[in-house]
Amino acid sequence: MGEEFYAVIKLVSGEEVLSLVAIDENDGDPILLLQNPVVMKMIHNQNGSVIKVKPWMEIPDDDIYAIKLDKAITITETKNEKIIHIYKKYISNTEDTIDYIEESGKVKVSSEMGYIDSVDQARKKLEKLFKRSKES
C-alpha cells in the first residue's frame, strides 16, 4: 500500500470527495482506499460563507472504502491546512455536525474568536472596574 495523503477526488458520478487516501497496487489494478470520505460544500449567504461537511455515505458505519481507479476522473492532493483542519475536526467529532456551524448557517462565537462573557456578565465586571477607579 502506498503513502497516505489528503486529496480531493472527482468521481465519474460527478461527486467531489475529500478523504485521506492511499493507493493500493492490487496486482496491476490500482485501487483507491478512502478513509472517512466527506463531501464539503461552500455556502454563501448575507452573513458570510460557511463550509457544510457531511459524510460521503451516510448509512454505512464503515470508515474505509475501496474504489477502482477508473471511477475517478481526477485526484488532487490538498495541502490546504484550513480544509484539512476542518476535515480532521469533523472526523474527530462524535456527532454528525461540526460544532462551530449552527443549522441556521451562522458561525457560533467561541473563545478563539474573542468571546469571553455574556453581555450581562461583562457589564457587571465593567461597572465594578468603573466604581473602583472612581473611588481611587
Lowest-confidence region among 40-44, 94-98, 121-125: 94-98
> pLDDT at position 75, please?
93
Decide: 84 and 78 in contact? Cβ < 8 Å: yes
Largest CA distance in the chain: 83
Instruction: Answer yes or no: is pLDDT of 103 > 60.
Output: no
Lowest-confidence region among 15-19, 71-75, 106-110, 125-129: 106-110
Decide: 70 and 87 in contact? Cβ < 8 Å: no
> pLDDT at position 21, please?
94
Q: Which residue has the higher pLDDT, 8 or 132?
A: 8
Give residue-wise pLDDT tens across range 39-67. 988 887 777 777 888 889 888 888 899 99
Integer Rg of the chain from CA:
22
> What pTM did the predictor assign?
0.62
> pLDDT at position 102, please?
47
Strand ranges for 1-136 from DSSP E:
5-11, 16-26, 29-45, 48-55, 64-68, 72-77
> pLDDT at position 53, please?
87
Instruction: Answer yes or no: is pLDDT of 28 > 70.
Output: yes
Select from 3.40.50.2000, 2.30.30.100, 2.60.120.10, 3.40.190.10 the CATH code of 5-135: 2.30.30.100
Mean pLDDT of the chain: 82
| Range 11-17 average pLDDT | 93
